[in-house]
Structure 1
Amino acid sequence: MTTHSDPTVKHDALYLFEAYDSNPNGDPDNAGKPRTDLDTGHGLVSDVSIKRKVRDAIQFQIDEGILPAEHNRIFIRRGVALNAELEDAYDTLGLEKGKNVKGDSVAKAGSYMVENYFDVRMFGAVMSTGNASAGKITGPVTIGIARSLDPVLPIDLSITRTASTKEENKDNASQMGSKTVIPYGLYACRVHYQPTRNNQVTSVDLEALWSTLTNMFEVTRSAARPDVSVRNLFVFSHSNALGNAPARTLLDSIKITKTTDKEIPTTGADYTITPPVEGEVKPGVTFKQVL
C-alpha cells in the first residue's frame, strides 16, 4: 500500500484540469451556458458535476470489467429510483419496511449501503426517503468547486439543423440553435479525504478514486465537452487522521504561474506548474504527484 492510498490518514489534493472549446459545466439558471463567477469572470465547475463524472467513470469501469461490481455499485445514477435501491437493501437484509422503521433497521441498512456502494462510502448520502430509510451518511471525501485560474471568455456559436421534426416542415427544414463554449480554461479543484471512526474505505477504494480522477474525462466526453482533460493531480498525505499541516498551506505550495501577457490565457502553454519535490515536504506530510 502506497502512502497516498492509506485510508487511515488524512489526504489533501489539488486537481487541475483544462477545457478547450468546451462547456465544462452548464448552468441551468443561464440557459446551460458555462458557469462563471459574475463578479470576476472566472469559470466554475460545481462539485456535484465533478462527483457525477466520478460516479459515471466508476460505473463504466464496472461495466467493462475493470472494477468488480461487488462493493462498488453506484447509488446515485441516471434511470434508477433511489427508494427502490433502499428497498432492495431492506429485502436483502430481511428488514421490515415502513414509514416508521426502527433505529436498528436504519443503522443496518446504512451499514449495508456503505459496504456495497462506492459513492455512498466515499461521498456519503441522505437515504431517509420512502419506506426503507438508511439514514444519513457523511462521507470522508470532500470535493470543492473548481475555479479557473484566470477569467474565461465564453463564446456563443449559432448552429443549424437540417432535419425537421414535423412532416409539414420538411421542405423548410433548417432550424437555428446555439451553443456556448470556452476557448480555454485551466481549472483548479481541491479534494480532501478525512477518515472517520467508522470508516469502511479501503486502500483499493482510494486507489480507485485517484485513478478515476485522472481518467474520468476520457470516458465521459460529450458534444458539450469534447476536449476536457486532466492536467495534474497532486496529493499531500499526512501521517495521521488529524493532519500535520493546514491543507491550504500545503496546496498553496504548488506554484502555478501565468507565463503570458495575455489577459485571458488561450492554451496550457500559458502556465507553468511547479510542485514540490516528491517525498516528505513537512514533518509528517508526504507529497506525491499522481499525474
Structure 2
Amino acid sequence: MGADTRIEEPAFSGMAERHRRELHVHCYRMLGSFEDAEDTVQETFLRAWRKRDTFQGRSTFRAWLYRIATNACLDFLAKHRPEPATGGEAVWLQPYPDRLLDELPAGDADEPESMAVARETIELAYLVAVQHLAPRPRAVLILRDVLGWPAKEVAELLGDSVNSVNSALQRARAGMREHLPAERQDWTGGEDDSGTRELVRRFTEASVTTDITAITTMLRDDVRFSMPPLPGLYVGRDAVVNNWIEDGFESMTGLRTVLTSANRQPAVAAYHWREREGVYLPLTIDVLRISGGAITEVTIFHADRFPSLGLPERLPADGTE
C-alpha cells in the first residue's frame, strides 16, 4: 500500500476487525481486565481511524494496529493505574474465556513452543505477575517475549533506544521471576490429561457436597487463593482452608456446577438454589491451576463474570438447561 493510498471506511473496518480478537488479548495481557481490554480495543480502532492517513505501509497494517493498541494501553495505565500491582495479587484481574481464545488466528500454532508460549502467557499466574511490572517494562516484555518483536521495533514504538529496551526487558524478566512460581512446570498447569480431569471432577463433587476434608486433601502445601476484586492473597493450605473453605463454605448447600474453562485453565461455575425464584442462579467461578496432581491455585470470580464466559444465566430445578 503506497503512502498516498487512503483507506475508506468499509475497507478499514474489515481490515481492523480481522485483528480484533488478537488485539483484545494483547490489551488483556497489558491490563489484566477483560472489560478494560474491550474499552481499549475500541479506543485503538477510534485512534486508528483518525490516523488512517498516516499509515504509510512501512510495516504491516497488523503491526500498525499493535503500535496504537500498546500506546492506548500505556495511556490507560497512566490514567487509571499509575502504580503496578503489589503483594502478589491484582484486584482488577478478570478471567478470559477459552471460547474466545479459540478465535485467535493460528499463526505458528503448529510449532509446539509457540503453543506453549501462547498458553503460558494467558494463564492467570502469568497475568498477575505481569501486573506487578511498571507499564513500560511490561510493554517491552509482552512485545519482545510474547509477540516476538525485534528490539529495534519496540524502541521505535516507545521512543527509546535499543539499549534502553534491552535493559527494560532484563528488568522485566527479573521481575517476572520474583512473582511466578519457581519452576516453569509449576505454573503451566494446563495439561489436558486424564489425571487433571479426574481431579477437577473430584473437586467439583466435593464442592457440591461441601466435603471440606476431601477438598483439603486436593490442595498442595503451598496453594494460593484469591478472590478479585476483593483484596487478599492467601498462601498455604492452612491459610486457604481457614480463610476460604471454613469461612462460610461448610454451610453452603444447594449447589449445582457447570464445568468450563478460562485462561486455558479448568474452571467450575457454581450456581446456588434460590427457593423464591425456583431456579439455580450464578454464584462464583473457581478457576484452578493444577500441577503434579494437586491444586496449586484457586482464583474465584464473582457472578458478574458469567456472561463473558458464555455461561447460562440460570439453571432450572429439573437439571435441564
Which band: TM-score by shorter chain?
under 0.3
Q: TM-score, normalised by structure 1?
A: 0.22
Question: Which of the pair is proportionally richer in helix?
Answer: 2
Q: Say which structure, 1 or 2, has more relative contact order (CA 8 Å, 6+ apart).
A: 1
TM-score w.r.t. the length of structure 2 is 0.20
